[in-house]
Amino acid sequence: MKQQVFNPYLPSWEYVPDGEPHVFGDRVYVYGSHDAFGAPIFCVNDYVCWSAPVDDLSDWRYEGVIYKKTQDPGNRLGIRSLYAPDVTQGPDGRYYLYYAFDFLGEFGVAVCDTPAGKYEFYGKVHHKNGKVWGKKSGEQFPFDPGVLTDDDGRVWLYSGFETKVPFVASGWHDLKNDGGVVMELEPDMVTIKTEPKVIFPIKGKPGAFPHAFFEASSIRKVDGKYCFVYSSQYNHDLCYAMSDRPDGGFEYGGVLVDLGDLYLDGNTDETHANNYLGNTHGGLLNIGDDWYIFYHRQTNRTSYARQACAEKLERTPDGGFKQAEVTSCGLNGKPLIGKGTYEARIACNLWAKGHTTARVDRGKKATEGHPYFTQTGKDRESDGDQYIANMRDGATAGFKYFSFDGTETKISVNGSGSGIFRVSTDESGENTVATVPVNGSSGFEISAGVHPLYFTYEGENAADFISFTIQGGTK
């Protein structure tokens, strides 16, 4: 790659959650929702697209706005927000974008001749009689589309959400939420060929998985099998299930990634996760022999400013996937160089004193005692200005991983505050390698190899953590 790439992998001012990565030609395209920094609700911006060469996942290019919410005939005033989309190349070679307008209870479809061109409104997903799906009482609630054009040209659409929605669904009628559903579409890409059926029951329903379906449907082919990715009842993980067919028979595989690294090493305590918890959504990407899981993290003490992240996955002997650890290096494919200046915003671990973390989804704000990612300026105003705010005594920011060669090393911290940062190579803070004053520096010794770095603030009031610089560490 031309340069190192971090998590989040897009610029610091970009907020694209629900990312669905797809390879079209020689590029990876990521389609997602579009949050706005400082917004009071989800997804207030129009759809944009980012892409990168398949052989350089550090070189992300902004493709611009690909679809405006006002392009849908039912949203000319822009009152509704565009939620998590997905894109597939249809049998006719064109690209189809599937989307939901927040909790309206219907799917729109837009079409384009190129992966990241200007999409145009195409229609609504509807039954053979022309009735839009979601307009009849008793139907399953359309939400979070996931779409697959299979090798034989058949098109499969997935959807689902666990909530009570009669007060938000279009037409003020009751829709069901029994779990994740699947249906086949006609070649026209909008007409339902086989009626929606529940194949992923929600928590408490017969056949529910150990991590039961909640939302975030995503579908891929893995070694000829169908791999369904979803967010579970816990709402901060992405899990998967596998089947030999697209319309049923799925078996639970496990967790792919969790925002707080829960379920790794047996830890299930949400109050002691390794990072903020909140909703997440994403999909699988395959390039050659490599597999990645894309997801999003929370920032700004809310769930309304989410950022795109990704981790490399390891396979299991049975053809499944191991749970990925949340890291700062993500798509880099290897540890970061133990030398240079790194922005604090790439921390993959963040907690308050006592290793306590907060949950910020469902409209909740993190308590004032917790550190959090934020930025100066307004939405999309500038680049490189994100930082960690509110580092109070005992708060820790962790970065994984760096490669050191054992040479003499010095570290300096850029921020504001009146205390020091204790730098350790373990999350408990016992293995301290340096004590660095805010806006100061300190030399330290570290053995050759791959290590995480944890910065724990000790001092009065609150500190803002902007960046740190490592001098030496590699020859």
> In the structure, what pLDDT confidence band is assigned to residue 162 with cuts at 50, 70 and 90?
confident
Among candidate residues 20, 162, 215, 343, the one labeled active-site is: 215
Q: Which amino acid is at 7?
A: N
* Cα 423 to Cα 241, 436, 442, 470, 475, distances in angstroms: 40, 7, 10, 12, 22
Same-domain status, 202 and 322: yes
So what's the pLDDT on residue 380? 87
Residue 263 covered by a domain: yes
- Would you say residue 157 has pLDDT above 70? yes
Same-domain status, 327 and 350: no
Radius of gyration of the CA atoms of the chain, in A:
22
- Which CATH number belongs to the domain containing residue 180 in this structure? 2.115.10.20
Collapsing DSSP to helix, strand or coil, 329 comes out as coil
Same-domain status, 433 and 314: no
Q: Which of 149, 157, 153 is nearest to 184 (CA)?
A: 157
So what's the pLDDT on residue 366? 61
**φ, ψ for residue 291, nearest 5 deg:** -125, 140
Same-domain status, 137 and 186: yes
What HEC string does 58-79 produce? CCCEEEEEEECHHHCHHHCCCC
399 sits in the region (left: phi over 0; alpha: psi -120 to 50; else beta) called beta
- Which CATH number belongs to the domain containing residue 351 in this structure? 2.60.120.260
User: What pTM, to 2 d.p., does this model score?
Assistant: 0.96
> How many structural domains comprise the chain?
2
Residue 4 covered by a domain: no
So what's the pLDDT on residue 359? 87
- Would you say residue 475 has pLDDT above 90? no
CA dihedral sign, ordered 42, 81, 91, 25: negative
Distance between alpha carbon 26 and the CA centroid of its chain, in Å?
23
Beta-strand ranges (E) seen in 39-154 are 47-53, 61-67, 86-89, 95-100, 107-112, 120-124, 146-149
pLDDT digit string, tens, across residues 309-367: 999 999 999 999 999 999 999 999 999 999 999 999 999 999 999 999 988 875 566 66
Range of the domain at 373: 337-472
Same-domain status, 296 and 307: yes
Residue 379 covered by a domain: yes
Same-domain status, 245 and 363: no
Q: Which of 200, 178, 202, 181 is nearest to 192 (CA)?
A: 181
Q: Which of 314, 34, 21 is nearest to 146 (CA)?
A: 21
Of 280, 313, 334, the position where a domain reaches its end is 334
Stretch 79-84: mean pLDDT: 96
Residue 18 annotated in active site: yes
So what's the pLDDT on residue 367? 67
Q: How far apart are CA 103 and CA 84, in angstroms?
A: 11
Percent of the chain with pLDDT over 70: 96
Stretch 400-425: mean pLDDT: 93
Same-domain status, 254 and 386: no
pLDDT digit string, tens, across residues 163-214: 765 444 445 467 889 999 999 999 999 999 999 999 999 999 999 999 999 9
What is the average pLDDT score of the chain? 94
Q: How far apart are CA 379 and CA 386, in angstroms?
A: 11
Stretch 413-424: mean pLDDT: 93
Same-domain status, 192 and 274: yes
Q: Are 410 and 471 a contacting pair, CB within 8 Å?
A: yes
So what's the pLDDT on residue 360? 87
Collapsing DSSP to helix, strand or coil, 186 comes out as coil
Of 317, 334, 351, the position where a domain reaches its end is 334
Residue 8 covered by a domain: no
Same-domain status, 325 and 351: no
Residue 213 covered by a domain: yes
> In the structure, what pLDDT confidence band is assigned to residue 243 with cuts at 50, 70 and 90?
very high
Stretch 71-85: mean pLDDT: 96
pLDDT digit string, tens, across residues 96-154: 999 999 989 999 999 999 999 999 999 999 999 999 999 998 899 999 999 999 999 99
Residue 211 covered by a domain: yes
Same-domain status, 329 and 362: no
Among candidate residues 14, 18, 35, 343, the one labeled active-site is: 18
Q: How far apart are CA 142 and CA 131, in angstroms?
A: 14
For 209, residues 6+ apart whose C-beta sits below 8 A from its C-beta are: 200, 232, 239, 241, 252
Q: How far apart are CA 94 and CA 111, in angstroms?
A: 7
Beta-strand ranges (E) seen in 145-212 are 146-149, 155-159, 179-185, 197-201
Same-domain status, 300 and 398: no
Residue 428 covered by a domain: yes
Same-domain status, 60 and 161: yes
Of 334, 352, 372, the position where a domain reaches its end is 334
So what's the pLDDT on residue 368? 75
Residue 7 covered by a domain: no
- Would you say residue 420 has pLDDT above 90? yes
Stretch 383-408: mean pLDDT: 92
Mean pLDDT lowest among 160-169, 287-296, 453-462? 160-169
Distance between alpha carbon 320 and the CA centroid of its chain, in Å?
20
Kindly tell me the burial class for residue 405, based on how many C-beta atoms sit within 10 Å of its own C-beta (0-12, 13-18, 19 or more).
middle
pLDDT digit string, tens, across residues 215-227: 999 999 999 999 9
